[in-house]
Amino acid sequence: MNKNNISIQKAKIEEYDDLRRIFLNTRQESFNWMKYDGIKLEDFDSSTEGELILTVRINNNIAGFISIWEEDKFIHNLFISSNFKRLGAGKALINEAVKAVGLPLTLKCVKANIDAFKFYLSQGWTIEEEVTKNEAYYLMKYEG
């Protein structure tokens, strides 16, 4: 626990409804390059299937989650509710991911997601590759 009372644990099934809402709401608020009519609550389930999901709480309120494809140490999703951004939850989730699966971690960051890109750079992530086909993204790496 730190000054923001951040705690992280493996996600429980009973938390999935909250995680689905965070996944949906954050995408609707921040992913201005996506068409909203195709976004559904159930997208969380298909997007995290087979992955390790960790839930972050701030003052015992679910603030967000990270999902990791463990074999590849690949972060597939990292979502923080807008009410809890810039309180250390994202950094705490990355640190916990390192403990859970080791280094290096990798992820794809859509180029249009400028806030996420700036966050990852501020946390020490580096660009490994820039892909410009279809939905342009950066393949990023974190070595601790």
CATH number of the domain residue 51 falls in: 3.40.630.30
Q: Which pairs with CB-CB distance under 8 Å and at least 24 residues apart come from 108-116?
A: 108/137, 108/138, 108/139, 108/140, 109/137, 109/138, 109/140, 110/31, 110/33, 110/135, 110/136, 110/137, 111/136, 111/137, 111/138, 112/31, 112/32, 112/33, 112/136, 113/30, 113/31, 115/30, 116/30, 116/78
- Residue 90, in any domain of the structure: yes
- Residue 142, in any domain of the structure: no
- Residue 16, in any domain of the structure: yes
The number of domains in the chain is 1
Q: Which domain holds residue 63?
A: 6-105
pTM of this structure: 0.91
**Tens-digit pLDDT string for the chain (144 aa):** 346 799 999 999 999 999 999 999 988 887 655 565 667 889 999 999 999 999 999 999 999 999 999 999 999 999 999 999 999 999 999 999 999 999 999 999 999 889 999 999 999 999 999 999 888 999 999 999
- Residue 133, in any domain of the structure: no
pLDDT score of 40: 82
